[in-house]
A and B are shown apart, each in its own frame.
Chain A
């Protein structure tokens, strides 16, 4: 494997890892709210969260590019504050990935929180557990399969990102060139053997990760932990 491919691979893993952590942090309160609110705006928010499921990534990437470019509302604000711009940067890729993979994290978490129900929380409250303790000692352990699914789906989905990255990140080696784009480049250059290495790697990793999650779920169900 060439040095450039290794750089792309490492960048991809960093992007997916960082995005997953951010997604879990942001997704938890959002999923919690969606699972428990009776607000009338809930369907609206749910539809917004689910948008990346149906939208072509290029459409999402296009709007993000408009937003993040130095003339766009977000880009201009960042510039006015003296912060680096997001377009064509790693931070921009992370921002795009978080939005792009949001439904893959929020939906499993939301399902886990809904199936948890109210009773364990009521029981914990009558036993003196405050909100934080209820979350740490009851919600988290009882939703851990939901978290596992959310993390794996978020990670795997970010790993395969192409359209959004191309639109807002371009193809800067070491900065925004991820594996999926490197593969595209190799194919364009008719370097099929190099494309094979990267494509096979991505295929293998994705398959193994999903298999591991399914096995974990199965084991949990068999041992009655679900």
Chain B
């Protein structure tokens, strides 16, 4: 368990966070730029000097009233937005820098090199490496530094789209190489959905909400879910394709979603991200429609009307929770209330690879 109580005052920004994060799995700090995610991450690592409060990581006190463990004594693996490799060292020497300074047992070099695809780079200098390669070395260096907590500050943000999509699988594998908690900062919904087990949503230096990924993104109380770009996350597994030219995913609630053909393996764990505005509601099942995914649903909750004139409807699809974003007018026309039975038409589904969501340690 990670206990955080951080207060930081800058001239134009205040961080004030009190929360408890699970002691295993990937927790994503999610929020817009300037919401204090990076400041919080730096505070945990001890890089923010002026932060006050308490930091306890799986029983180890890193900071408390009148006590501050210096950065180099905190067992973190930190990946910065810019790789920050040491230019005077080779790739191999960069990788081994941390292990040289911390005692104790850690990962062997070989599995890290293999997982991150670094074998051919080892003897090279770091100057000629591409952005993606540099970030892979930085990731390996952090993993090999015998950390007890992995902190990642938007490790993909500085990369172009191509390198990003190439790096994500490495990142996913790397995060599961060590059985230690990871805190991952991002403002990208796709990275969030792909990597998170838990999520903490931040805004203006404060925690707005937090919890398991699926719950946070199906809870109408979450501020993000009352906006027009609200979305839900459904974990599932790939089935044998049932319709020609399409793949199929079965979710936890037993619903089958047809998705564009993918080359993922059968039974592989995936996550579906569904934009609330791509879900429309109708009272009768339309038989003749180009929309493939039409599923029966019961309305569980309806939000207030937002300033944009829309409201968010939380649906129960046999245990799966799905958000739909409709206009207040439609809601009135269809007389949608808690308990209404209707059909959800899902226009678009994004399939993101993801691991099975690991339960928090008690």
Contacts and interface: CB of A to CB of B under 8 A. Distances in A.
Interface of A: 119-120, 122-131, 133-134, 137-138, 141-142, 224-225
Contact of B101 (A133, A141, A224): A133
B87 interface: yes
28 contacts: A119-B80, A120-B86, A122-B47, A122-B71, A122-B80, A123-B78, A123-B86, A125-B47, A125-B71, A126-B142, A126-B151, A127-B72, A127-B98, A127-B141, A127-B145, A128-B75, A128-B146, A129-B72, A129-B97, A131-B72, A133-B101, A137-B97, A138-B86, A141-B88, A142-B87, A142-B88, A224-B125, A225-B87
A124 to B, nearest CB: 7
Interface residues of B, number: 28
Contacts of A124: 72, 86, 97
Shortest beta-carbon contacts, A-B, top 10: A128-B101, A127-B98, A126-B78, A125-B71, A128-B102, A123-B84, A141-B88, A125-B72, A224-B127, A127-B145
A153 B159 CA distance: 42
Contacts of A133: 101
B102 A120 contact: no
Nearest to A126: B78
B49 to A, nearest CB: 11
Interface of B: 45-47, 70-73, 75-78, 80, 82, 84, 86-88, 97-98, 101-102, 125, 127, 141-142, 145-146, 151
Given A125-B71, A225-B87, 14 more contacts: A120-B84, A122-B47, A125-B70, A125-B72, A126-B71, A126-B145, A127-B98, A128-B72, A128-B73, A129-B97, A134-B72, A138-B86, A142-B87, A224-B125
Q: From DSSP, what is the main secondary structure of chain A's interface residues?
A: helix
A23 B275 CA distance: 65
A137 B97 CA distance: 9
Nearest to A119: B84
Contacts of A129: 72, 97, 101
Contacts of A141: 88
B18 to A, nearest CB: 24
A139 to B, nearest CB: 11
B71 to A, nearest CB: 4
Given A133-B101, A224-B127, A126 B77 contact: yes
Contacts of A134: 72
A124 B141 CA distance: 11
Contacts of A126: 45, 47, 71-72, 76-78, 142, 145, 151
Nearest to B88: A141
A141 B97 CA distance: 14
Contacts of A120: 84, 86
Contacts of B46: 125
Nearest to B98: A127
A138 B101 CA distance: 13
